[in-house]
Amino acid sequence: MNSNMKLAMILLAAASIGLAGCTKESSVTSTPSLFQQNSSISTNTNVNSETSEIRNVSNAVKGDISQIDVTNIHSLKIQSNAAIVTVIGDKQINQAELELSKGNSQGMDTNVTTSIQDGTLQIILENKQKIINTGPLPSLTIRLPYKEFKSLKIDNKIGNISVESELSVQHLNVSSSAGDITVTDVIGMESSKISTNVGSVEFALPDQPAPLYVNLSTKIGTIDNQVTLEKATNTTKFVSKELHGYVGKAQSESATLNISTQVGEILFKN
């Protein structure tokens, strides 16, 4: 076994230990996902967008969905230490909707809080370990109405992240430590940064994207590019790989898309 394979196995083992203790970070749902979800309980809280109150939304009745007024919201921050996180754009709704499914695990207490301050909605999911956890992770689903957001930042320690459908955002930032990330039909109009330590990334471009500079890189893994790129440059060093190029006509003012993994595959497609 060479040193690179040993490194990959060490990283994967560290991710597994973090999952048991809820101490590592992750991302999204993807093609075979690292962590599977199981639904059971959802949230029930209304948040006033004119205040910066912090409200607990974890004690909920099954079937209820929390609604949040985002009329005056321009940015979103979503943080989780262990969950399946899904963000969906929906042109059929007027308010944000938040649903928590706690899964079947008896090893964790799950707590979700929301706060609004200076035009930024922050959603934090925390799991406190009671015993060694072997059950499925909780699932946090956030549906957003169609409007222009300055930024959407998702930081999930353990578990998969999915961002999909009909979202308008200037800056998109999605990161994890252990989990897969899937982004479908969503891109930051100025910049997008997608990164995971252990996991795969699948990125599907929206129809007719604006000119875009693309930078794909993986330390241990493969890059599957299915998009025509102008001025494409491939670089391979031992097992690490990089791909640079432009979607559409190369322009200095193009939006940027950076996708990186430490251990995992990257799929870039239309």
Question: Does position 143 have pLDDT exceeding 60, yes or no?
Answer: yes
Question: In which band, very low, low, confident or very high, does the pLDDT at 47 lie, cut at 50, 70 and 90?
Answer: very low
Please indicate whether residue 40 or residue 119 has the higher confidence score (pLDDT): 119
> What percent of the chain shows pLDDT beyond 70?
71
Arithmetic mean of pLDDT, 244-258:
90
Give the mean model confidence (pLDDT) for residues 147-164. 96
More confident residue, 259 or 61: 259
C-beta separation of 31 from 131 below 8 A: no
- For residue 171, the model assigns a pLDDT of 98
Residue 78 · residue 28 · CB < 8 Å: no
Average pLDDT along the chain: 80
Averaged pLDDT for residues 151-173:
95
Confidence category of residue 168, pLDDT binned at 50, 70, 90: very high
Give the chain's radius of gyration (CA, Å): 19
The number of domains in the chain is 1
Mean pLDDT value of segment 237-256 = 89
- Give every strand in the sheet of 161-164, ordered side by side: 46-47, 66-68, 96-101, 139-145, 84-90, 161-164, 181-184, 201-204, 266-269, 223-225
The alpha carbon dihedral of 269, 230, 195, 189 has a sign of negative
